[in-house]
Structure 1
Amino acid sequence: MEIEIKFNETFEAPMGSPRPRFSTKGRYAHTYMPTKYTEHKKYLQNQMPKLNLENALKIELEFYFSRRL
């Protein structure tokens, strides 16, 4: 099976996973991921087919980046 991920104007290229962010409210700490990253992750997840796998899955990824001059 071959799956091709499509990008658009909003999500132009693959994005690395940033570190979690922290905030405090009173005495409590709150951990969250940046909104731009979570939206990018949801966009990619929506393109993936729903597979009911019973065995291990091997994935090979190839990324092609255009060089801006």
Structure 2
Amino acid sequence: MATSEQDPASNTIKDPADWTTGDEPATGAQESYLHTLASEAHVDVPEDLTKAEASQQIDVLREKSGRGL
């Protein structure tokens, strides 16, 4: 039976701080989604985010914009 909850022991979701590529520049997809969320949340987005920072900002802005997890 499939569930929408992740097994805590699963490695499918990692903390962005633990990503081996987390220090690389944010991807185009991350930047696009981040700017969409920022617009909906009426906030500015910092420039030149890393992949890890962009992921963390996306999580924060999903909550602020009403698209929360």
Normalising by the residue count of structure 2, what TM-score does the alignment of the two structures yield?
0.25
Higher relative contact order (CA 8 A, sep 6+): 2
